[in-house]
């Protein structure tokens, strides 16, 4: 629950590891192009040369993504960085070390269970946004939440792990118990704006978890029930930056 939990399918095939296998590999890694808020810390390869692999703080399955949000967790805290590919280089666009993950830390996304208060590791697509507040200017498809909107977290519902309106039925209208769902309007701080992390989708596996989002920190800036939470000011920038044409993904590790 955004407050939540799930499983997902990793995107692409190319995995970037941070740990060099030899001193030679370490030397090669040392000259990899880096960038911080638009200032390059290195030199770009010669015109026509193969681009060096990006080095993220966590192993990342890049696939066709030109935008990557990396989440490097340590306990219930995390460093979150939004990376933008520009030609042969990757640039850090936004960064925060004030992020929070699940109150029980992170766990393997492939074996995660609902109700464990863990954030799933893995690489997941980002394809839609929502929020209690108006669209802040994102290029993502965006739904403004009303009192009718719920995120279905009842594992016995055919609509498990999707947004659905109360009048449409198909799930208990309660937030309590094992069959409870999330009444999104009840979280105006966390869900002022949010991006859906496509974990445990297509199809959703019963009991793996539902409602894993990138959202704002709560009023006490505490850990989540499975989501990734960052300061609202950074989140607003990230939501505006995310572009479906760039195939954004989030990599949690």
Residue-wise pLDDT for 116-127, tens only, equals 999 999 999 999
Global confidence as pTM: 0.81
Strands, DSSP E only, in the chain? Answer: 15-16, 35-36, 39-40, 60-61, 67-74, 77-86, 89-100, 106-108, 119-131, 142-144, 149-151, 163-165, 182-183, 194-197, 213-216, 228-230, 249-252
Average pLDDT over residues 6-26: 34
**Which pLDDT band holds residue 59 (cuts at 50, 70, 90)?**
confident
Per-domain residue ranges for the chain? 15-252
Question: Which comes out higher in pLDDT, residue 5 or 233?
Answer: 233
Looking at residue 54, its pLDDT comes to: 61
């Amino acid at each position: 629950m955004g407050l939540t939990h799930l499983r997902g399918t990793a995107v692409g095939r190319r995995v970037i590891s941070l740990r060099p296998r030899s001193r030679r590999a370490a030397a090669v890694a040392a000259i990899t192009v880096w960038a911080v808020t638009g200032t390059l810390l290195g030199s770009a390869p010669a015109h026509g040369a193969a681009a060096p692999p990006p080095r993220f703080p966590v192993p990342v399955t890049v696939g066709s993504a030109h935008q990557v949000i990396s989440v490097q967790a340590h306990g219930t805290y995390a460093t979150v960085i939004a990376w933008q590919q520009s030609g042969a280089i990757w640039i850090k666009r936004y960064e925060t070390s004030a992020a929070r993950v699940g109150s029980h830390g992170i766990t393997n996304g492939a074996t995660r269970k609902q109700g464990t208060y863990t954030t799933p590791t893995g690489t997941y697509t980002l394809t839609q946004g929502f929020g209690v507040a108006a669209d802040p200017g994102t290029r993502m498809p965006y739904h403004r939440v009303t009192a009718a909107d719920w995120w279905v977290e009842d594992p016995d519902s055919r609509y498990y792990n999707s947004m659905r309106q109360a009048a449409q039925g198909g799930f208990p209208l309660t937030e309590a118990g094992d069959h409870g769902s999330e009444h999104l309007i009840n979280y105006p701080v966390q869900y002022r704006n949010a991006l859906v992390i496509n974990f445990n989708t297509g199809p959703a596996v019963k009991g793996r978890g539902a409602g894993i989002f990138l959202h704002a920190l709560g009023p006490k800036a505490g850990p989540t029930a499975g989501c990734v939470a960052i300061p609202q000011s950074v989140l607003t920038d990230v939501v505006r930056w995310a572009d479906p044409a760039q195939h954004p993904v989030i990599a949690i590790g």
